[in-house]
Amino acid sequence: MGTPTPLETRLSRVKTPGEPVIVFERVFLAFGDNVILKDISFELRAGYSKIFLGASGAGKSTILKLILGLLKPQAGKIWVNGVRVDTLGESDMMKVRDDVGMVFQEGALFDSLSVRENVGYKLYEESDTPLEDVHRRVEEVLGWVELEEHIDKMPSELSGGQRRRVAIARAMTFQPRILLYDEPTTGLDPITSITIDDEIVKLRDIEGVSSLVVTHQLRDAFYVAERMAFRGNDGRIQFVPATPEKLAQTEFVMLRDGLIHFEGTAKELRATNDPYLALFLS
C-alpha cells in the first residue's frame, strides 16, 4: 500500500451520511433597498439533494454565491461543512471552497485548453502532486462521465451535453462533498438533458455527494428526484424508480418574495393545491 500521496489524502476525507453540510439560518440579504432574501433557513444533509425553484430574480443564484462566500449576508448565519462562512475571511474561504464543486450554466470550459487540461487544471498547477497521479485522477473522473476517449479533444469538438459532462468531471476532481449546479440542463435538448440528470443521480446515490441544484427545468428536477442509481452485481450502474426512502432524500425549495414559499418532496409538490405552485407547475 505505502504512504498515501497528497492527492489520496485529500480524496479520503470522511463523509458521514445525513450530517448537515450546508445550513442557512435566518439569512437576510439586500442590494441597497432591493431586498432579495428576507428570512431564509434551510439545511442540506450529506447525501441529499435540494432543488431550488423560483421565478427569475427570486434569489437562487444569490444563494449559491452565499455558499461560495462570493457574497455575505447582512444578517443570519451560514455554515458549509461545519464552517461558519458568513463571517469568514477570503483565505479561509478558499479552503472551504475546496470541498464544494461548482457546475456552472453552459459548462464554462476554457476553450483554449484540452478536455484533460480543463478537468485537471487545478491539479496540474499544484507542484506537490506527481504528474502520474494527476493523469490517473483526470482519467478516473472522465471515465465516470463516460468521456475517457475524448480526453485529448478541445471543447469546440464536443457536443453541448459532452461539454456539461466535462464540467461535472472537473467539479469532481477533488471529490467534493458538495456539488452546486447552476442551471445544468438549460439549453440542452430533452434526451441530452437526461444524460446530465443521470450524472447528478449517480453522484448522489453512488458517491454520496450532496447537491444543490438551481433550475428552471421542472421535468429535469422531477427526473432527478424520482430516479435512483445503484451498482448491480455485475458492477454496472443501473437506474430504477426511486424508493420512498430515496424520494425523501431530494427536496424542492420554492423561493418567492425573499422567503421559502414551499419545501417538500416531489410527491408533496405534485400533490400541492397552492395556487402559486400550481401556476409554476402548469
- Give the chain's radius of gyration (CA, Å): 19
61 binds ligand ATP (CB under 6 A): yes
Q: Among 44, 51, 58, 212, which residue sits at the site for ligand ATP (rule: CB under 6 A)?
A: 58
Mapping DSSP to helix (H, G, I), strand (E, B) and coil, where does residue 152 land?
coil
Interface segment toward ligand ATP; rule CB under 6 A; list 60-68, 115-123, 187-195, 265-273 = 60-68
Q: Which of 99, 223, 240 is nearest to 172 (CA)?
A: 99
Which CB, 183 or 197, lies closer to ligand ATP? 183
Which CB, 182 or 197, lies closer to ligand ATP? 182
Which CB, 33 or 245, lies closer to ligand ATP? 33
Which CB, 49 or 62, lies closer to ligand ATP? 62
3 binds ligand ATP (CB under 6 A): no
Q: How many helices (H) and strands (E) does the chain have?
A: 11, 12
Q: Among 22, 42, 44, 54, which residue sits at the site for ligand ATP (rule: CB under 6 A)?
A: 54
CB 57 to ligand ATP: min, Å: 4
Positions 10 through 49 that interact with ligand ATP (CB under 6 A):
31, 36
End-to-end CA distance of the chain: 56
Interface segment toward ligand ATP; rule CB under 6 A; list 16-24, 39-47, 56-64, 257-265 = 56-64
Q: Among 3, 56, 91, 233, which residue sits at the site for ligand ATP (rule: CB under 6 A)?
A: 56
Q: How far apart are CA 255 and CA 58, in angstroms?
A: 6
Q: Among 57, 130, 143, 187, which residue sits at the site for ligand ATP (rule: CB under 6 A)?
A: 57
Q: Are 201 and 226 in contact (CB under 8 A)?
A: no
- Burial class of residue 66 (count of CB atoms within 10 Å of its CB; 0-12, 13-18, 19+): buried
List Cα–Cα distances, 221 to 36, 177, 224, 235, in angstroms. 23, 20, 5, 27
Q: Which of 109, 108, 116 is nearest to 152 (CA)?
A: 116
60 binds ligand ATP (CB under 6 A): yes
Interface with ligand ATP (CB under 6 A), residue total: 10
DSSP for 2-17, please give it: -SPPHHHHHHT----T
**Helix (H), strand (E) at residue 171:** helix 160-172
Q: Are 170 and 119 in contact (CB under 8 A)?
A: yes
CB 212 to ligand ATP: min, Å: 12
Which CB, 191 or 279, lies closer to ligand ATP? 279
194 binds ligand ATP (CB under 6 A): no
Interface residues toward ligand ATP, by CB under 6 A: 31, 36, 54, 56-62
